[in-house]
Structure 1
Amino acid sequence: MAEEAAHDLMAEGDSDNTRLAYRAAMRYWAAWFGARYGQQMALPVAVPVVVQFIVDHAQRSTKAGLEHQLPPEIDQALVEAGFKGKLGAPALNTLMHRISVLSMAHHVSKQPNPCVDPAVKALLSKTRKAYAKRNALPHKQRALTKEPLEAVLQTCDDSLKGKRDRALLLFAWASGGRRRSEVSEAVFDNLHRGDEGAYLYTLASSKTNHNGKIRPEDVKPVVGSAAVALEDWLQASGISSGPLFRRILKNGKLGTDGLSGTAVRDIVKARCALAGVGEDFSAHSLRSGFVTEAGRQNMPLQETMAMTGHRSTDTVAGYFRTGAAQVSAVARMMDSGKQKSDKA
């Protein structure tokens, strides 16, 4: 059932990463159900089962501290079988994602959806509020803004791998915060030279462009230091067709295969670790970092969205406003008044 549901969900997904996330969530549901009830899961899932899933995985306050309902022996079995990374309750975001995936599985299978039942919706709402009252904010990957990115770039030497990683990081960040799937799927054939050493890259497929039609907003500039790094990588690698960013083999030679989305993530994390800027960065940090930096530098929101490809203002505004808040003149009114008083 999990495999069939995952197959249906794959048709709904628009990237390898999304498909993998859907598949992992459905496999976890099937494994948990089997361990909890001793039988194979089938759609539709009953409402009490979804309620049990929530209380098994959501922490609640008790006199003994924070607890969740998942029996220790089942928790241990799920970890040993590789369905969980570690013992204990998952992050709230993980729980919500798994509920969302189950809901989508019922939707695409045209089955009665237990996730929209009033009892489930009310429990999820109260769960979010309970976490908020405990100041347990949803985890977000840190934004890789300009300063830490510059430190990360310093770790990229003049070896073939160093040139690749520098070009990859700058291409992903400076062209609008490209998603890791967009970086891994980038091909030389969609890269064109512009004026004065600049490049233009055409996104033939992205999260907001499912059918591959070429639109003006899908042409992204790669200019300045990003263009220099890309040119350096192309000259060193000799790439003239196929995947733009490729594996470097153990013998130091260039491979023919493009990088996977996981490899892009690993490159970002490894370089951040080398730079000593922190361990809580990932590939998405390039995208959120671009938007946050745009807010810090008071760049127009619409121009920023044109670069990132965001369609919804709500989606991008959170990162943008976080960056803008750090340089807010309104937030510095007390200091501003003090400076004027000192001058007087």
Structure 2
Amino acid sequence: MTVLQSIPADPPAAPAAQTATVHTAADHGLSPAARAALEAGVPASTRRAYAADWRSFTAWCSQAGRMALPATSQTVTEYAAHLMSAPSTRTGRPLSPSSIERALTAIRSMHKAAGLTAPETSGARKVLAGRREQLALAHDPAAKVRKATPVLPTEIRAMLATVDRTTLAGMRDAVLVLLGYATAARSSELAALNLGDVAETPDGLVVSVYRRKIKRHTETAVPYGSNPATCPVRAARALLAALADLGRTRGPLLVRIDRHGRVAPPLTRRGKTIGDPDGRMTPEAIADVVARLAAAAGLPGDWSGHSLRRGFATAARRQGHALERIGRHGGWADGSRALLGYLEDADAWTDNPVVGL
């Protein structure tokens, strides 16, 4: 059959040019299931932050006699100016520029979610630029973006030296640090690991990590370490064996452990179970462990769960590994600005343009 023969004798007529497209209410609506699926595409921490920012904005609008939805560009500009001086309920200080930036993003996101045109924020961002310059000229620490201190091999050895690895809590903390570092996992990704996600092979471990930013799993290879004390494979093997002795062969890898050295029972509030019933640690609890171990080792800095991920990128770059290999191993999106920032920190000394001048 030729191309001409495949064309119907009477092709369907094109719609008349003058016919207007009319949408009904159903075309603009979303079912509860679709809304839930849409929300699932946004990290829970981001949703919580945006919701808190939106509550603050609507409360301010109510007091100021302004409309929050839809908001005008003047209202958003006025709100940005207000945040520059209003003390935060949490810290007692005005919000940092990055927090104000997030509040502006939350306002625009809520308008879009409501099917409304987001307000213009150019005026608010000029206010924000002026705020950044004021803080910088005043040498205020808030002018700088807060960064987690990177955990490097020296710090890992110091942190692990404070851990009693004969206890279940000590074995868990060692895996938390070593596996979190070797996989470059975010705290949320580390918390989500199950026992079945860690498989031992002759060459080391293969860890299946769900990378939340790129929305897919990576099978991350973790080789044996040359030093048994800092080997993630040996640490994971010890923890898996200890949990198996307790009959735990399924469920979360990193679990809450009480002061008696036992896997903590489910948390309850007013008779209702809260949190993960299997005792899974939260990302916040993982960050607390990193900060606690750093403090116990006497390490100065701003320590959090992100210190492990940032430290991996910094150390890998200093060892001469290529950007692509570092990014793929740690689940960074191609062209990630965050990763490029970490590598610039690492290159500040190893590829310093002043050297040789």
TM-score (structure 2 length as normaliser): 0.75
Q: Which residue of 2 aligns with 1:173?
A: 181
Does 2:124 match 1:120? yes
1:133 and 1:146 map into 2 onto residues whose CA distance is 36
Moved over 6 A (4+): 7-10
Q: 2:109 aligns with which of 104, 122, 134?
A: 104
Are 1:292 and 2:319 an aligned pair?
no
Q: Do structure 1's residue 317 and structure 2's residue 343 form an aligned pair? A: no
Partner of 1:331: 354
- The equivalences for 1:157-168 within 5 A come to 157-158=164-165, 159-168=167-176
Cα distance, 1:208 vs structure 2: 0.7
Aligned to 1:340: none
| Alpha-carbon shift at residue 181 of structure 1 (Å) | 0.8
Separation in structure 2 between the aligned mates of residue 54 and residue 9 of structure 1, nearest angstrom: 32
Moved more, 304-313 or 18-27: 18-27
Distance 2:41 2:316 in 1: 29
Is the radius of gyration larger for structure 1 or structure 2?
A: 2
Name the structure 1 match of 2:286.
Answer: 264
Q: Equivalent residue for 1:202? A: 208
Q: Which AA in structure 2 matches 1:17?
A: S
Tell me the SS of whatever aligns to 1:259: coil
- Contact kept, 8 Å, 2:76 with 2:121, in 1: the verdict is no
| Deviations, residues 28-64 of structure 1 (Å, cap 9, x unaligned) | 3334444x4278x642223222212211222xxxxxx
Instruction: Tell me by how many angstroms 1:21 deviates.
Output: 2.3
Single out whichever of 298-307 and 125-134 deviates more from structure 2.
Answer: 125-134
Match of 1:30 in 2: 58
TM-score when normalising by structure 1: 0.78
| Bigger fraction of residues in helix | 1
Alignment of 1:68-217 (within 5 A): 68=85, 70=86, 75=87, 84-114=89-119, 116-134=120-138, 136-158=143-165, 159-175=167-183, 177-196=184-203, 198-204=204-210, 206-209=212-215
Give the match's secondary structure for 1:43. Answer: coil
Residue 242 of structure 2 corresponds to: 236
Compute the displacement of 1:104 (Å).
1.4
Q: Structure 1, residues 196-243: CA drift from partner, whole Å, max 9, x if none?
A: 4x111112452211xx5x5xxx10123321111111111122242111
Give me the whole-angstrom Cα distance separating, in 2, the residues matched to 1:204 and 1:327.
Answer: 32
**Contact 1:93–1:139 at 8 Å: present in 2 too?**
no
Give the root-mean-square deviation of aligned CA atoms: 2.6
Deviations 1:73-115 (CA, angstroms, capped at 9, x unpaired): xx4xxx6xxxx2121212211111111122211122222222x
* Counterpart residue identity of residue 222, structure 1: V
1:128 Cα offset (Å): 3.8
Deviation for aligned residue 1:315: 2.8
Equivalent-residue separation in structure 1 for 2:80 and 2:91 (angstroms): 18
AA paired with 2:240? Answer: L
One-letter code aligned to 1:254: V
Deviation string for 1:110-144 (max 9, x for gaps)? 22222x34323433344444445555222222222
Asked whether the equivalents of residues 61 and 68 of structure 2 are also in contact (C-alpha less than 8 Å), the reply is: no
